[in-house]
């Protein structure tokens, strides 16, 4: 049933890719195969799977789905987003150098700053909005450019086309972490990226009930090496978790539409509030990178940040007063979450890097859920009274 079709829309792919796998009973959803191993029919004769770390039909179904959404050649699904990032980093060797942004996800920063340097891989953290900084950071040892856009939590936009062009001129691999917008709002392969990574924990799964990651590739050599690495490192996703993500991803498109409509409403409300100093959201006219947003994004997403006037509203009291926004890390689920990047999600960066990234102790990050916008705004309004 239903073969992949190049012209098929993303909403259709989200529902129809990675399903119809059950020829025994024709279930319309893909079964979970909770097995560690698969028996051989004879020496050298199996049905395509031998051991679940290396491959599992439920995981393969999810890989097919996500590859179709990103428009990639294939995908490897991993146990977490950090597992995906780790596997991609193993494309590098001792002595290699990577250029990346100074406002990337806190966990990625920690991995780049504190783990991979142990193996002789070095990093330059630059302001990627400034193409001169990107160019100047490239050395003879540079092997990869790691891009995250929009950035977390300040929603700065990196010019995918321009940075990838700089990378291609030097034959560097480009990796884009597309977690924040999901393929529904941004397609990095359209701009020539080599690899797209996701924390499927966020919008792809969308229900805050699983952690997972994905690596999508567009080239056979990269595919073979990544598949080798995910198996060799042992970072692949469990069949149960793969099934949950496959269930979640089917509603990616309608969820993203509601996340975005609610984020637009909440951002507009916050921008007018006297106890809010500044709002960061790509959907606001006040975002300074309008042309770039139009060029590379099909939407603005559901993440925003703002500066609370903590002289007027105490941070702790503000969080405590909220009814619908849970004080929690993570993002991209159906429920609204709120947090302090300085004290929570990005704390591991340390004060110096936090300051350099432009965050303050008053920065608040919001993952706007799919509740009724009016309820979310009323809730923020009462908490902002202080």
- Which residues sit at the interface with ligand PLP, rule CB under 6 A? 80-82, 105, 107-108, 148, 152, 177, 179-180, 199, 201-202, 211, 213
Nearest-approach distance from CB 66 to ligand PLP, in angstroms: 14
**How far is CA 230 from its chain centroid?**
18
Least distance (Å) between residue 302 CB and ligand PLP: 12
Q: CB 38 → ligand PLP: shortest distance, Å? A: 28
DSSP, collapsed to helix, strand or coil, labels residue 358 as coil
Which of residues 203 and 269 has its CB atom nearest to ligand PLP in the complex? Answer: 203
**Measured CA angle at 353 (ends 319, 203), to 5 deg:** 55
Nearest approach in angstroms of CB 220 to ligand PLP is 26
Residue with tokens 């790691």: 146
CA–CA separation, 151 and 137 (whole Å)? 19
Q: Residue with structure tokens 């978790």?
A: 241
User: Is omega for the bond preceding 164 within 30 degrees of 0, making it cis?
Assistant: no
State the Cα–Cα distance between residues 113 and 133, nearest whole angstrom: 19
Nearer to ligand PLP, 180 or 189 (CB): 180
> Least Å distance between CB 108 and ligand PLP?
5
**CA 307 to CA 320: how far, in whole Å?**
17
E strand spans, 271-317: 276-280, 303-308
> Is residue 121 within 8 Å of 100, Cβ to Cβ?
no
CB of 86 to ligand PLP, least distance (A): 9
Cβ closer to ligand PLP: 8 or 113? Answer: 113
| CB closer to ligand PLP, 211 vs 292 | 211
Hey, is 333 helix, strand or coil? coil
Distance from C-alpha of 128 to C-alpha of 134, rounded to nearest angstrom: 6
By C-beta, is 142 or 152 nearer to ligand PLP? 152
Question: DSSP for 193-257?
Answer: -SEEEEETTTTTT-SSS---EEEEESSHHHHHHHHHHHHHHT-BPPHHHHHHHHHHHTTHHHHHH
Q: Are strands 97-101 and 122-126 parallel, antiparallel or unpaired?
A: parallel
Shortest spacing between CB 332 and ligand PLP, in angstroms: 8
C-beta closer to ligand PLP: residue 18 or 153: 153
**Cβ closer to ligand PLP: 211 or 279?**
211
The residue among 124 and 179 lying less far from ligand PLP, judged by its C-beta, is 179
**Catalytic, out of 33, 105, 184, 281:** 105
Catalytic choice (11, 21, 53, 312): 53
53 catalytic residue (yes or no): yes
CA triple 65-163-221, angle to 5 deg: 45
- Which is the catalytic residue, given 59, 143, 187, 202? 202
Instruction: Tell me the two tokens of residue 121.
Output: 């891989």
Decide: 296 and 161 in contact? Cβ < 8 Å: yes
Q: Is residue 332 within 8 Å of 367, Cβ to Cβ? A: yes
What gap in Å lies between CA 263 and CA 259, rounded to an integer? 6
Q: Look up residue 93 and give its two tokens.
A: 């060797």
Instruction: Specify whether 177 is catalytic.
Output: yes
Smallest distance, Å, CB 170 to ligand PLP? 25
Q: Which residue has the tokens 């969820």?
A: 255
Residues designated catalytic: 53, 105, 177, 202
């Amino acid at each position: 049933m239903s073969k992949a079709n190049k012209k098929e829309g993303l909403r259709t792919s989200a529902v129809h890719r990675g399903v119809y796998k059950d020829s025994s009973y024709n279930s319309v959803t893909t079964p979970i195969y909770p097995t560690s191993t698969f028996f051989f029919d004879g020496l050298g004769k199996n049905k395509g799977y031998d051991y679940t770390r290396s491959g599992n039909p439920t995981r393969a179904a999810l890989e097919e789905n996500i590859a179709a959404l990103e428009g990639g050649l294939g995908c490897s699904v991993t146990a977490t987003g950090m597992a995906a990032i780790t596997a991609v980093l193993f494309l590098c060797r001792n002595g290699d150098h990577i250029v990346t942004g100074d406002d990337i996800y806190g966990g990625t920063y920690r991995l780049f700053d504190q783990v991979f340097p142990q193996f002789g891989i070095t990093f330059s953290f630059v302001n990627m909005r400034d193409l001169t900084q990107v160019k100047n950071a490239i050395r003879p040892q540079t092997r990869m450019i790691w891009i995250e856009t929009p950035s977390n939590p300040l929603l700065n936009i990196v010019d995918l086309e321009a940075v990838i062009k700089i990378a291609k001129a030097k034959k560097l691999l480009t990796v884009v972490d597309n977690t924040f917008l999901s393929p529904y709002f941004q397609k990095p392969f359209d701009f020539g990226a080599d690899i797209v990574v996701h924390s499927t924990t966020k919008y792809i799964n969308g229900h805050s009930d699983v952690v997972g990651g994905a690596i999508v590739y567009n080239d056979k050599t990269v595919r073979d090496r990544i598949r080798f690495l995910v198996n060799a490192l042992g970072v692949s996703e469990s069949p149960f978790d793969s099934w949950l993500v496959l269930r979640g991803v089917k509603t990616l498109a309608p969820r993203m539409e509601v996340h975005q409509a609610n984020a637009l409403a909440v951002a507009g409300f916050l921008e007018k509030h006297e106890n809010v100093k500044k709002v960061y959201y790509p959907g606001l006219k006040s975002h300074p990178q309008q042309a770039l947003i139009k060029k590379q994004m099909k939407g603005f997403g559901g993440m925003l940040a703002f500066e609370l006037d903590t002289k007027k509203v105490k941070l702790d009291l503000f969080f405590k007063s909220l009814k619908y926004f849970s004080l929690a890390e993570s993002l991209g689920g159906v429920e609204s979450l709120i947090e302090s990047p300085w004290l929570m999600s990005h704390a591991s960066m340390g004060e110096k890097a936090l300051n350099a990234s432009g965050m303050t102790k008053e920065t608040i990050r919001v993952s706007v859920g799919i509740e009724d916008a009016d309820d979310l705004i009323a809730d923020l309004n009462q908490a902002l009274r202080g």
